[in-house]
Amino acid sequence: MPRHQPNRFDAIVVGSGITGGFAAKELTERGLSTLVLEAGRPIDPARDYTEHVQPWEMRFRGYGDRRALERDQFIQKNCYACDEMGARFFVNDRENPYTFDPAAPFHWIRGRQVGGRSIMWGRQVYRWSDLDFGANLEDGHGVDWPIRYPDIAPWYSYVERFIGVSGLAEGLPQLPDGEFLPPMAFRCPELRVREAAERVWGRDRVLTMGRCAVLTRPHNGRAACHYCGPCERGCVTHSYFNSLGSTLPAAARTGKLTLRPNSVVESIRSDPRTGRARSVRVIDAESHRTMEFEGRLIFLCASALESTRILLNSRSDRFPDGLANDSGQLGRNLMDHCFGAGARGTMPGMLDRDSRGARPNGVYVPRFRNVRDRHPGFVRGYGFQGGAWRSGWGRGGPGFGAGYKRALIREKGPWRMSLGGWGEMLPRPDNAVTLDPVVKDRWGIPALKIQCTFGPNERAILADIQVTAAEMLEAAGATEITSYDDRLPPGLCIHEMGTARMGRDPKTSVLNGWNQAHAVPNLFLTDGACMTSSANQNPSITYMALTARACHHAVDLIDRNEL
Amino acid sequence: MDRRDLVRWLSGFAAAGWMAPLPGAERVRLAELLPRSGGAAAFTPAQAALVATLADVIIPRTDTPGALDVEVPGFIARLTTDWYSDEEATQLRRGLDAIDALARARFGGTVLSLSEPNRTALLESLDTATGQPGSAEHTFARIKSLTVYGYFTSERVQTEVLKTEIVPGRFDGCIPIPG
């Protein structure tokens, strides 16, 4: 490609988060000059990472600037990580509006900065299996995935080896093991529940250590975790994986990367003759100046709903309903995970023991419903995430004065343990996003109108979660067990996906089995929008594996002159 | 109140040899200082004196610092003016007045002026009851939780009393509690 044209690149990647960073790394390492467009500002870890800021250094001691949050981040503040220090990594809701029926809220949690939401993600990584990739075909919900586990397994390994994943191999078919660094340690009651579950349910219900993208030993030039706790505020030692500290630097080392922050993508222009994507229209976030960048290859990695919005807003005579939307499925089949239900209890005894250090990870119970048996009330399933802890001074309680104070300082509360379910959500065409006819964002781009509700299958899953979580705690001897369902709205699990799904048939899907748009061969989309079903595992590693796989396929096509 | 002010404020008291449990007059003096500690618009002098008194009773100075040593009243004032909604702040102020009114009705004086047994009896009755926002009971519970939170999140208590490790460097899941 001619290097003298500053607005022309071999590849353009929209988004610099968990998928955009990976696309940048793979494409540049394969020799493509690559422009990464990021809507948000640059991040400087020295200035913006605040994981070691202590409560007394915060104006509201960690409660957050409530008035600012209620004014500017009235949606974002629903995310636990959008707190006094973390709020800087979440968008301003007034500048970034979207609409929904107030009776059916959807919480859209967004981060616009270099690194995207990989800065404050939950870091849990779980492979899918063919129980997941075959589910749609098996029970008829959605369309069949165009890939199966063997297609993605080597890419899971590829990603795990790069990012570093700590975990415990269990040999379970529904949750394949990966390339693990040593697992983090269990707390005493977690081991007790693990043993009790094995005693009662054998290998059907396995409580294992969370598999997370946090290093338990030095890896690829990054330091092991120092267990300070709040990863979601950043990590100056890059001990958890994010694109800012790992994939983007790798891409930069090739000399092929151009990273342009403050670049709000408005639309993608296609060539009316060939139907191919030609250029990306960008509005500078600060100057509001419009510009255009040409790319031979375009990768959409802007997050599921942002990538979908860009495609919906890229209309032409050839694509009147949005770029690559011949199927009419663009914007449909929005999924999240249903969560916020589970059980908690007190674990008696072990009062002479405690843990030391802040483990940025919990325990995990892989799916056990509809694995070998068939549940009468719902299809698919859920996994548990949870953990045990002893409360310190925060437990409060009755009393005051010298004795009360001494007890809060010197004594600890009993062990408590909680298990919360993360449930699969079925793809339904009526859970859909469209462009709002009236509302626009700060840059004049039409806002999304989001329609999304949980259905009977999700409600049945949330009900079952409360029963099985409680019975697992009970089996381990827990007392004071209470089940809960916080009735959280969809979106808040921040696993939104599915609105430009992969499929075998161009009539019913937007992307093929390589994340390539059926109708636009040089357009690839590898963020959550590509997902054909949701499974119940945290999805980021699957997005990353699909991204790496798609990048290598795209460059192979170019090398073979097939693109 | 920013940290520089906090240090100046604390060292001012230390220089005055203020090491014994606070007599009532000192609490009044403390209340007068509150406006300088960021609580100017938060409370009337009587309310401010009550906040300081309650904080001192809930977490008194012992062999470790007390709530007043780590500027808990300033923290409560800051949350009242800059964090609570107008309605919540009004309820809190009304509730403080209700606590003093109760003290007067039952023992003939404000909480600050009560004998220790009378004060303890009054606050125990509030501590074991619940009430609506704006009531004496609800407000005592709120002041208590703010006092505990403000105390334990303070720099001195975190570093000198709890000895919290900011960078533990390792994680142990299940180890004996030392000594």
Question: Do the Cβ atoms of A72 and A93 come closer than 8 Å?
Answer: yes
The verdict on B21 touching A (C-beta cutoff 8 Å) is no
Structural domains counted in chain B = 1
Nearest to B175 among A190, A353, A400 (CB): A353
Dihedral (C-alpha) B34, B35, B39, B45: value to the nearest 10 degrees? 70
Mutation target vs B (from A49, A51, A52, A61; most B CBs, 10 A cutoff): A61
Nearest to B173 among A57, A355, A412 (CB): A355
- Would the CB atoms of A358 and B168 count as touching at under 8 Å? yes
Q: Which stretches of chain B drop beneath a pLDDT of 70?
A: 1-40, 179
Nearest to B174 among A52, A57, A353 (CB): A353
Question: Do the Cβ atoms of A256 and A297 come closer than 8 Å?
Answer: no
Q: Give the whole-angstrom CA distance, residue A218 versus residue A425.
A: 37
A479-485 and A165-166 as β-strands: parallel, antiparallel, unpaired? unpaired
Using left for φ > 0, alpha for ψ between -120 and 50, and beta otherwise, residue A182 falls in beta
Q: What is the DSSP string of A469-492?
A: HHHHHHHTT-EEEEEEE--PPTTT
For B117-143, b/e burial (b = at least 16 CB within 10 A) is: ebbeebbeebbeeeeeebbbbbbbbbb
Q: Give the whole-angstrom CA distance, residue A255 versus residue A14.
A: 19
Both tokens assigned to A413: 């509360």
Shortest distance between the Cα of B108 and any Cα of chain A, in A, equals: 23
pLDDT for res A315: 97
- Please give the residue range of the domain that contains residue B74: 3-160
Nearest to B174 among A355, A393, A401 (CB): A355
Chain A residue with the nearest C-alpha to that of B85: A67
- Would the CB atoms of A357 and B172 count as touching at under 8 Å? yes
- Would the CB atoms of A57 and B3 count as touching at under 8 Å? yes
B148 in a domain, yes or no?
Answer: yes
Mutation target vs B (from A56, A237, A390, A409; most B CBs, 10 A cutoff): A56
pLDDT for res B41: 76
pLDDT tens for each residue of A65-97: 999 999 999 999 999 999 999 999 999 999 999
Nearest to A357 among B128, B149, B171 (CB): B171
pLDDT for res B24: 53
B129 in a domain, yes or no?
Answer: yes
pLDDT tens for each residue of A113-171: 999 999 999 999 999 999 999 999 999 999 999 999 999 999 999 999 999 999 999 99
| A320 contact partners, CB below 8 Å, separation of at least 6 | none
pLDDT for res B12: 32
The verdict on B78 touching A (C-beta cutoff 8 Å) is yes
B165 in a domain, yes or no?
Answer: no
- Would the CB atoms of A60 and B83 count as touching at under 8 Å? yes
- Would the CB atoms of A66 and B83 count as touching at under 8 Å? yes
pLDDT for res B38: 46
Q: Give the whole-angstrom CA distance, residue A287 versus residue A290.
A: 9
Chain B residue with the nearest C-alpha to that of A402: B60
- Would the CB atoms of B64 and A409 count as touching at under 8 Å? yes
The whole-number average pLDDT for the span A385-397 is 94
Mutation target vs B (from A187, A351, A405; most B CBs, 10 A cutoff): A405
With a cut of 70, say whether residue A2 has pLDDT above it: no
B166 in a domain, yes or no?
Answer: no
Q: Give the whole-angstrom CA distance, residue A493 versus residue A341.
A: 12
- Would the CB atoms of B82 and A67 count as touching at under 8 Å? yes
B7 in a domain, yes or no?
Answer: yes
Cβ neighbours around A42 below 10 Å, total:
15
B167 in a domain, yes or no?
Answer: no
Question: What are the beta bridge partners of residue A195?
Answer: none
Q: Which residues of B touch A191 (CB under 8 A)?
A: 173-174
Residue A365: burial class (beta carbons within 10 Å; 0-12, 13-18, 19+): buried
- Would the CB atoms of B60 and A61 count as touching at under 8 Å? no
With a cut of 90, say whether residue A1 has pLDDT above it: no
Residue with tokens 């004996």: B176
B109 DSSP 8-state letter: S
pLDDT tens for each residue of A471-508: 999 999 999 999 999 999 999 999 999 999 999 999 99
**CA dist A189 → A389, A422, B55, B118 (Å):** 9, 21, 36, 44
The whole-number average pLDDT for the span A5-22 is 95
Mutation target vs A (from B153, B159, B163, B164; most A CBs, 10 A cutoff): B153
A117 DSSP 8-state letter: G
Interface of B with A in 24-43 (CB under 8 A): none
The whole-number average pLDDT for the span A259-270 is 98
How would residue A220 be classed by pLDDT, with cut points 50, 70 and 90?
Answer: very high
pLDDT for res B5: 34
With a cut of 80, say whether residue A52 has pLDDT above it: yes
How would residue A199 be classed by pLDDT, with cut points 50, 70 and 90?
Answer: very high
Helices and strands (DSSP H and E) totals, chain A: 12, 19
B173 in a domain, yes or no?
Answer: no
Average pLDDT, chain A: 97
- Would the CB atoms of A400 and B174 count as touching at under 8 Å? no
Residue with tokens 């299996």: A129
- Would the CB atoms of A227 and B127 count as touching at under 8 Å? no
Q: How far apart are the first and last CA of chain B?
A: 38
B175 in a domain, yes or no?
Answer: no
Mutation target vs B (from A181, A355, A400; most B CBs, 10 A cutoff): A400
pLDDT for res B6: 30
Question: What are the beta bridge partners of residue A387?
Answer: A418
Nearest to A359 among B59, B64, B171 (CB): B171
Chain B residue with the nearest C-alpha to that of A361: B171
Q: Give the whole-angstrom CA distance, residue A479 versus residue B87.
A: 39
pLDDT for res B39: 54
The whole-number average pLDDT for the span A24-52 is 97
- Short-list A190, A241, A196, CA closest to A220: A241
Q: Which residues of A touch B146 (CB under 8 A)?
A: none
The verdict on B81 touching A (C-beta cutoff 8 Å) is no
Q: Give the whole-angstrom CA distance, residue B95 versus residue A96.
A: 40
Q: Give the whole-angstrom CA distance, residue A249 versus residue A25.
A: 8
- Would the CB atoms of B62 and A402 count as touching at under 8 Å? yes
Q: Which amino acid is at A287?
A: S
Shortest distance between the Cα of A115 and any Cα of chain B, in A, equals: 24
